[in-house]
Structure 1
Amino acid sequence: MQKIVRIALVVTTCVIIGYLSGMVTRESITTWYPTLVKPVFNPPNWIFAPVWTILYIMMGVAGGMIWNRMETDEENVKKAFKFFILQLALNALWSYLFFGLQNPLLALIEIILLWLLIFETYNQFKKIDKVAGMLLVPYLAWVSFATVLNGSIWWLNS
């Protein structure tokens, strides 16, 4: 399989997962979420979709780059991809917990686990391809911010 096809497949997968996660949030964004007390640093709602789209694309490119190393570093690539898939699943689960179940505390616990898995994915990726690892840094930074935001929303509304 061509390298660009692998990257495109992983990018497409990440964007689809992001889209499906967004479907869970749509109703709550207009009904439940506006009723919450939010911290002063809460960004406007319109910022989330473009930021997440960019992050999913970067994540997909990084994943595809790692997949492209399968022939030369199979053991490390398989290990790194396990973390990648786990963090992607937890990423999708967060939207369900926060917006679907409307449970900021459960989402906070989960996003801390997500952050740890992203960090480990970053560590695994950078061992294989430094650029692929670096492509995850904005994602890690955004989830760090999202963790603080999630925790603040839970605190302000409990």
Structure 2
Amino acid sequence: MSTPLKSGAGKGAARATFCSYAAMPVQLPTILYDLPRNPAIAVGLPLTVGWLTGLITRTSVQAWYPSLRKPSLQPPRWAFPVAWTFLYASMGAASHLLVAAYDSSLPGSAARFAADHALKLYWLQYGLNLLWSPTFFGLRQITIANVDIILLLATLLRLAPAAFKVDQRTLFAFGPYVAWISFATYLNSSIWWLNLGPGSKQLRK
């Protein structure tokens, strides 16, 4: 019969097990390396998907969004497509720079690890980005969308310096992107506060 571990030893073993799993390398699917290798696809993919998302959510943007209470710092409607066109194109270009750095570095080297890490963060933020519009405008789930955009901002705050270490030119993409998502997080959080949070109750009084 095995002897039960003491409480402290058990917790230590659990922490060691968790750390060993956390340290294991997670390989991206091959397609996520292949897509940004082509600069046209790297830039065109986020632009095309962003355009399609805009088409799908257009009715909600035009009919439902104007009915929401918004903060005073609300940009004009035309600013959103202009900003996102630039951001999608520049983030796609940055992904091409990251995979180029990955391909030009030696397997097992620190440079390849850094590029791979930045690519993983890139695809993570892109997934979170893709979820936001359908969640906010499609499902009209302001709270869930707010959680999503906070996670997106947190991921970008890790991605921007990680990508800069790989290729300093990515600053021209991720610098404005971080600034815009910071502002978008303020907007989403303010809309939640004014429509669903304590702020909505104060306005009704």
TM-score, normalised by the number of residues in structure 2: 0.71
Q: Confirm or deny: 8 A CA contact 1:13 1:60 kept in the other structure.
A: yes
Query: Where in structure 1 do 4 or more consecutive aligned residues deviate above 6 Å?
Result: none
- The corresponding residue for 1:117 is 155
Aligned pairs for 1:90-101 (under 5 A) are: 90-101=128-139
Moved more, 12-21 or 115-124: 12-21
C-alpha deviation, 1:129, in angstroms: 0.7
Q: Are 1:36 and 1:157, in contact at CA under 8 Å, matched by a contact in 2?
A: yes
Distance between the aligned counterparts of 1:21 and 1:81, measured in 2?
Answer: 23
Structure 1 SS opposite 2:78: helix
1:7 matches 2:45: no
**1:82 corresponds to:** 120
CA distance in 1, matches of 2:158, 2:172: 13
Q: Is the 8 A contact 1:77 1:128 kept in 2?
A: yes
- Give the structure with higher Rg (CA): 2
Give the percent of matched residue pairs that are identical in Structure 1 and Structure 2.
39
- Report deviation, 1:5: 6.4
Deviation string 1:31-50 (CA, Å, 9 cap, x unpaired) is 11111111111112121011
- Per-residue CA deviation, residues 124-152 of structure 1 (Å, 9 max, x unaligned), is 10110111134201000000000000111
User: Is the CA contact (8 Å cut-off) linking 2:37 and 2:99 kept in structure 1?
Assistant: no
User: Are 2:65 and 1:27 aligned?
Assistant: no
CA contact (8 A) 1:125 1:132 kept: yes
Residue identity in the other structure for 1:79: H
Mean CA deviation greater in 137-146 or 116-125: 116-125
Is residue 106 of structure 1 aligned with residue 144 of structure 2?
yes
In structure 1, distance between residues paired with 2:174 and 2:180 = 10
Q: Which residue of 1 aligns with 2:85?
A: 53
Q: What displacement does 1:20 show?
A: 2.8
Unaligned runs of 5+ residues in structure 1 are none
Spell out, residue by residue over 1:44-103, the C-alpha distance to the aligned partner (whole angstroms, 9 max, x if none). 212101110001111111111111112223322222111101101110101011101111
Letter in 2 for 1:21: T
In the comparison of the two structures, how many residue pairs are matched? 155
Q: Which has the higher contact order (CA 8 A, sep 6+)?
A: 1
Matching of residue 150 in structure 1 with residue 188 in structure 2: yes
